[in-house]
């Protein structure tokens, strides 16, 4: 059985920077309130009418990752695209990336695991490479949150958190034994509605929402039970991190770099303290980008690598928790 390694990384974020101060234009809040609860100072939001969409942002990140891997688009055998904000209800953006990159008619798979989407996508790609089915797989996480947020005081508990952007990696068959050591995936669907966007959906389509014309209807905006999600996140993060380490005979002190999903800086800090990790062992960039859901881990991975925070032989652990509930981890020997 083969091993898979990350051969190339790239990310893309819109140029438009939205600071906490900018949010005061349409909601009652303060920079201090946002920073205290989330650690976020600014985020990137797509400018309406621009060319930035989940598929195009994902393509831009993918082009960088492919180039950094020393490959061309024609070397890619398969695409895995993780997002909760596709360009269309259907089809998913994986096929759009295939077209935008001008790749031959390879397979494209869309993953809908929200904040855990990139880890899930990485795990799926890892299995394909381990079995020898594919050699070079493009794994993308891309999100366009800003177009679907309730930009008002009523929606501030969610709106201040989320940002737009994309990250991508090329997962490749390893020749030196280094690469993904294991991945670990979990879900708990009984809590699905604690972090969800309920409508429009096939059970309550656009015409029903419009005909009701209810100004109090918030079903078409994301809903998050913040305290409930936080309590579960810190528990599941710790569990899945220890699961990955235990499966491979390691302890928290062996981690060279932990890259958590950038959900909330307070969650990352809680986990860091619980695991006894130093600042050098954890990478956070949520203060600059907010929560970019499926894109957060590959964006952080791309930045950490470009900053020299990841070196050959390092033990890198990625972990995520989010809507579903779903959570997962991936342990990599770089």
Residue numbers annotated as active site:
115, 261, 291
Rounded to whole angstroms, how far apart are CA atoms 245 and 132?
26
Query: For the chain, how big is the Rg over CA atoms in Å?
Result: 19
Burial of 196 (0-12, 13-18, 19+ CB in 10 A): middle
Residue 296 in 3-state DSSP?
helix
Q: Are 141 and 54 in contact (CB under 8 A)?
A: no
Rounded to whole angstroms, how far apart are CA atoms 61 and 140?
8
Q: What is the dihedral of CA 191, 195, 199, 202, to 10 degrees?
A: -40
Rounded to whole angstroms, how far apart are CA atoms 324 and 331?
22
β strands within the chain, DSSP E: 4-12, 17-19, 42-44, 78-82, 107-111, 136-143, 165-173, 179-187, 195-196, 223-224, 257-260, 315-322, 326-333
Placement of tokens 């670990």 in the chain: 184
Rounded to whole angstroms, how far apart are CA atoms 316 and 168?
17
- DSSP assigned state of 46: P
- DSSP assigned state of 201: B
Residue 52 in 3-state DSSP?
coil
Rounded to whole angstroms, how far apart are CA atoms 117 and 80?
10
């Amino acid at each position: 059985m083969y091993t898979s390694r990350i051969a190339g990384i790239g990310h893309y974020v819109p140029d438009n920077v939205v600071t906490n101060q900018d949010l005061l234009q349409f909601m009652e809040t303060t920079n201090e309130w946002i920073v205290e609860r989330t650690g976020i100072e600014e985020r990137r939001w797509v400018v309406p009418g621009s060319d930035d969409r989940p598929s195009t942002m994902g393509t831009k990140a993918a082009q960088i990752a492919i180039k950094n891997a020393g490959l061309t688009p024609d070397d890619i055998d398969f695409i895995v695209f993780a997002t909760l904000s596709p360009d269309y209800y259907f089809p998913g953006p994986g096929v759009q990336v295939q077209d935008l990159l001008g790749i031959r008619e390879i397979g494209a798979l869309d993953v809908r695991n929200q904040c855990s989407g990139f880890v899930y996508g990485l795990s799926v790609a890892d299995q394909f490479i381990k079995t020898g089915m594919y050699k070079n797989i493009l794994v993308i996480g891309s999100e366009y949150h800003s177009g679907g947020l309730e930009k008002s005081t009523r929606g501030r508990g969610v709106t201040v958190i989320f940002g737009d952007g994309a990250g991508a990696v090329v997962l490749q068959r390893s020749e030196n034994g280094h690469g993904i050591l294991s991945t670990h995936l979990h879900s708990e669907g009984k809590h699905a509605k604690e972090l969800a966007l309920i409508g429009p959906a096939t059970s309550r389509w656009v015409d029903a929402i419009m005909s009701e014309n209810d100004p109090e209807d918030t079903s078409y905006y994301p809903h998050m039970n913040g305290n409930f999600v936080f309590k579960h996140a810190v528990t599941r993060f710790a569990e899945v991190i220890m699961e990955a380490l235990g499966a491979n005979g390691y302890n928290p002190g062996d981690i060279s770099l932990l890259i958590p999903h950038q959900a909330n800086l307070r969650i990352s800090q809680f986990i860091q303290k619980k695991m006894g990790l130093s600042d050098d062992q954890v990478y956070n960039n949520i203060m600059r980008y907010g929560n970019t859901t499926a894109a957060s881990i590959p964006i952080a991975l791309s930045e950490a690598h470009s900053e020299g925070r990841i070196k050959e032989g390092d033990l890198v652990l990625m972990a995520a928790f989010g809507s579903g509930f779903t959570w997962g981890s991936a342990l990599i020997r770089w």
